Amino acid sequence: MARHTPVMSVMVAAARKAARGLQRDFGEVENLQVSVKGPANFVSAADKKAEKTLFEELNKARPGYGFLMEEGGVVEGADKSHRWIIDPLDGTTNFLHSIPQFAISIGLEREGQIVAGVIYNPITDELYTAEKGGGAYLNDRRIRVAARRELNQSIVACGVPDLGRPGHERFLGELSHVMKQVAGVRRMGAASLDLAYVAAGRFDAYWEANLAPWDMAAGIIMVREAGGYIADLKGGEDMLGTGGILAGNEILMKQLAATIKVSHTAA
C-alpha cells in the first residue's frame, strides 16, 4: 500500500478535485466534436478551470508555497524553498480530439529538487504517485521500470514536434536512428503519462525535446523512484533547463542517449 504523507494527500486531493471538472468537460467535448470550429475554446476554458482548482486547493493547504503553472506562469510565494510545478491538462490535443490519454501533473520542488509528484489520468482513473525515497506507485501498487536490457526488444516512446513548433528535422534524424534499433516506437501525446508509463514498465524508454518544466517535473521523480534513470538529451541533468529528456532503466537510457547523440552528430 502507498502510505501517503500529509503533503502527498494534499496533492492527490487537489488532483482528484480538478479531475472531476475535466471528466465532465471531456464528456462535453465529445458532443462539441461535430461543430466546424470544434471544441477549442471550450477546451482552453476547461484547462484554465482545472488549473484554478489546483491553485486554490494547493494554496489553501500549503499557504506561501510558490507556483510555476502552464497557464498562470510564476506565482512567487513567501516560502522560497517550495514550489509547485503544474500542468493542469497535459495532452491537450488528445483531450480536444476525445482521445482519453491526458493527465493532471503536479510536481513539488524543495530547494530546487523535485521531491514529490502526482500524475493522474481522470478517464482511466490511474493515479501515479512518488515521493523522494518512498518509491513510485500506480494506484496502490508499487511500480518499477522494465528490466529489458536490449533496445531491439524494447518499446520506446517519444514526442513528435507539432505543426509550428521547432525541431522537425532534428526529430526525423533522431527517429531514423532510433527506429532501426528498437522493437517499436510509440507517440501517445502526453509527456507526463509517457514518463509514468516508463515508471510502470509499460514503455522501456522514452525521449523528447522542447518540453516545458510542467510536462516533466512529476514524471522525473516518478521514473527515479521506480528505479529508472533520467537525463537531458546531452546526457546531463538539466532536463528542466534544456527541455530535453531521456528515460528508462540505466542500460536502455544510456543506449538510447548514445543513439540520439549519434543522430545529432550525423545531421
Near ligand IPD by CB under 6 A, which window of 73-81, 83-91, 138-146, 223-231?
83-91
Residue of the chain from 191, 220, 246, 247 that contacts ligand IPD (CB under 6 A):
191
| Interaction of residue 215 with Ca ion, rule CB under 5 A | yes
Collect all residues with Cβ–Cβ distance below 8 Å to 266 and sequence separation of at least 6.
173, 177
Position 189 contacts ligand IPD (CB under 6 A)? yes
Note whether 101 binds ligand IPD by CB under 6 A.
no
Tell the smallest beta-carbon distance from residue 70 to Ca ion (Å). Answer: 5
Task: Kindly tell me which of 48 and 110 has the beta carbon lying closer to Ca ion.
Answer: 48
- CB within 8 Å of 3: residues ≥ 6 apart: 134
248 binds, among Ca ion, ligand IPD, none (CB under 5 to 8 A by kind): none
The whole-angstrom separation of Cα 267 and Cα 169 is 9
Whole-angstrom Cα distance, residue 150 to residue 44? Answer: 41
Nearer to Ca ion, 57 or 70 (CB): 70
CB of 157: closest distance to ligand IPD in angstroms? Answer: 9
173 binds, among Ca ion, ligand IPD, none (CB under 5 to 8 A by kind): none
Beta pairing partners, 138: 128, 141
Place of cell 521523480: 221
> If we measure between CA atoms, which residue out of 196, 132, 187 comes closest to residue 160?
187
Note the helical H segments in 144-188. 168-178
Q: Does 208 bind Ca ion (CB under 5 A)?
A: no
User: Would you state the cell numbers that stand for residue 22, as one nine-digit string?
Assistant: 475535466
Q: What is the residue whose three cell numbers read 482521445?
A: 99
Strands annotated E in the chain = 65-69, 73-75, 79-90, 103-110, 113-121, 126-131, 135-138, 141-143, 155-158, 184-186, 205-208, 229-231, 245-248
Instruction: Show contacts with ligand IPD in window 107-166 (CB under 6 A).
Output: 159
Q: Which positions from 44 to 83 touch Ca ion by CB under 5 A, shown as an x/- string?
A: --------------------------x-------------
Q: Pick from 87, 131, 174, 194: which binds Ca ion (CB under 5 A)?
A: 87
**Euclidean distance between CA atoms 68 and 76, whole angstroms:** 9
Contacts of 63 (CB under 8 A, 6+ apart): 78
Asked whether position 25 contacts Ca ion by CB under 5 A, the answer is no
**In terms of CB distance, is 114 or 211 closer to ligand IPD?**
211
β-strand pairing of 205-208 with 184-186:
unpaired
C-alpha cell belonging to residue 140: 496502490
Q: Which of residues 205-264 bind ligand IPD (CB under 6 A)?
A: 208, 211, 215
The two most distant CA atoms of the chain are separated, in Å, by 51
Residue in 7, 130, 138, 190 binding ligand IPD, rule: CB under 6 A: 190
Cβ proximity to ligand IPD, 90 vs 225, nearer residue: 90
> What is the binding site for ligand IPD (CB under 6 A)?
87, 90-93, 159, 189-191, 208, 211, 215
> What is the binding site for Ca ion (CB under 5 A)?
70, 87, 89-90, 215
